[in-house]
């Protein structure tokens, strides 16, 4: 691989090999209990996969769209209504991504603070909308995962249906995931909204998955899951580590190297960046951890500053615990 950072590429090879193993464990056991020998992967609340459908932030959608076929179905057993139409399912995608994808990086990653667990009790998205607007519960996940500047419930109420109609009307023929993101952002431009590049990338990926599976929106649009996709800011940061002055063709070469769909590889690069920078936050790890659990030997790039902060503070925290006890 010409002009790639060989150490970073070696780490990515290693990480993807482990992800293939953890994904197989998840598929075989429906549990995320791993014994890879890598203490960081085995003990930190991260979600490791090759196929984006096994990533934590899509679990809620998997449960509704795939029902008993979802690997996480047994957790909450969200029941889909037989009368729901394609608008109801598109609403699940739209609202889930606008509200932050249930992201938490904790054990409940993919379900954190979601209001959509109640969606199963309504006949349609219109009925649910009334409940959504009147509910005072916390309905968003990590603050970085929502579109800024907008009251989110009003955004969903005002724009969902017209957005859905616009997408259905303007996605024609076989389009790439990148083209679909552009269509969605064209809607935003026409309606005086700023571009939702990150959120629309997720929505386009979701729609690409479910129109090609046996779901209620199968065949609604024609999308090639292996097509070109946008790169979000985190995956771009990963690509800059792998090759400083990269081009999209370099991203495509890596997709070929690992035989991964671009939309899946883009997602994996986001988690890989967390892996190589080793962020350690109190809410991120299990109570039994010590700092030594995270020395995994892959010092590829300078670690995230929170890694050093935790290392410096860990001894102080331990001393305080001993004093208090």
Residue 57 scores a pLDDT above 70 = yes
Q: Where in the chain are the domains?
A: 1-44+260-325, 52-66+75-230
Torsion angle defined by CA atoms of residues 225, 226, 227 and 228, in that order, rounded to the nearest 10 degrees: 110
- Say if residue 315's pLDDT is above 70: no
Q: Is it the case that residue 292 has pLDDT exceeding 70?
A: no
What is the reported pLDDT for 174? 86
301 pLDDT above the threshold of 60: no
Kindly tell me if the per-residue pLDDT of 296 is higher than 60: no
Q: Give me the pLDDT at residue 302, please.
A: 38
Report the C-alpha gap between 90 and 74 in whole angstroms.
Answer: 23
Mean local confidence (pLDDT), 235-249:
94
What pLDDT is recorded for position 280?
Answer: 54
- Closest by CA to 184, choosing from 237, 220, 150, 230, is 230
Cα torsion through 102, 162, 129, 98, rounded to 10: 20
Instruction: Give the up-direction half-sphere exposure of residue 62: CA atoms within 13 A in the CB hemisphere.
Output: 21
- pLDDT at position 290 is 60
Confirm if 172 and 131 have CB atoms less than 8 A apart.
Answer: no
Q: Residues 88-125: pLDDT tens digits?
A: 999 999 999 999 998 876 778 889 889 999 999 999 99
Summarised one tens digit per residue, pLDDT across range 61-79 is 999 999 999 999 999 999 9
Does the pLDDT value for residue 305 go beyond 60? no
- Dihedral sign for Cα 39, 270, 145, 264, please: negative
Could you tell me which of 272, 309, 273 has the C-alpha nearest to residue 291?
A: 309
CA atoms within 13 A on the CB side of 237: 13
Tokens 């994808």 correspond to what residue?
101
Please say whether the beta carbons of 12 and 4 come within 8 A. Answer: no
Q: Using a pLDDT cut of 70, give the percent of the chain over it.
A: 81
Which of the four pLDDT bands, split at 50, 70 and 90, describes residue 242?
very high
pLDDT at 223 over 70: yes
Cα distances (Å, whole numbers) of residue 269 to 72, 257, 260: 23, 14, 12
Which of the two residues, 171 and 287, has the higher pLDDT score? 171
Nearest to 51 by CA among 222, 258, 204: 258
pLDDT score, position 144: 58
Provide the whole-model pTM.
0.86
Q: To the nearest whole number, what is the mean pLDDT of the chain?
A: 85
Mean pLDDT of 162-184: 95
39 pLDDT higher than 90: no
The confidence score (pLDDT) of residue 189 equals 97
pLDDT at 222 > cutoff 60: yes
């Amino acid at each position: 691989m010409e002009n790639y950072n060989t150490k970073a590429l070696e780490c990515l090879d290693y990480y993807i090999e482990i992800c293939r193993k953890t994904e197989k464990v998840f598929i075989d056991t429906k549990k995320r209990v791993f014994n890879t020998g890598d203490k960081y992967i085995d003990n930190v609340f991260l979600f490791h996969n090759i196929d984006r459908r096994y990533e934590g932030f899509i679990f809620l959608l998997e449960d509704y769209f795939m029902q008993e076929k979802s690997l996480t179905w047994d957790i909450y057993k969200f029941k889909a209504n037989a009368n729901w139409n394609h608008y109801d399912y598109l609403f699940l995608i739209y609202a889930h991504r606008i509200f932050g994808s249930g992201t938490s990086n904790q054990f409940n990653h993919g379900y954190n603070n979601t209001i959509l667990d109640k969606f199963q009790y309504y006949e349609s998205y219109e009925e649910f909308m009334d409940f959504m607007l009147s509910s005072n519960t916390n309905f968003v996940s990590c603050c970085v995962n929502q579109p800024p500047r907008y009251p989110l419930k009003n955004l969903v109420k005002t724009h969902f249906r017209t957005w859905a109609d616009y997408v259905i009307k303007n996605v024609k023929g076989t389009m790439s995931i990148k083209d679909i993101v552009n269509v969605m952002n064209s809607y935003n431009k026409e309606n005086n909204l700023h571009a939702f590049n990150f959120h629309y990338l997720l929505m386009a990926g979701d729609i690409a998955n479910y129109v090609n599976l046996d779901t209620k929106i199968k065949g609604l649009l024609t999308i090639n899951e292996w097509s070109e996709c946008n790169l979000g800011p985190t995956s771009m940061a990963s690509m800059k580590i792998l090759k400083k002055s990269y081009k999209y063709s370099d991203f495509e070469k890596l997709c070929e190297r690992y035989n991964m769909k671009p939309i899946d590889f883009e997602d994996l690069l986001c988690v890989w960046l967390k892996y190589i920078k080793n962020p350690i936050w109190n809410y991120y790890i299990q109570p039994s951890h010590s700092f030594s659990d995270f020395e995994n030997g892959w010092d590829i790039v300078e670690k995230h500053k929170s890694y050093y902060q935790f290392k410096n503070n860990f001894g102080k925290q331990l001393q305080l615990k001993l004093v208090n006890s």
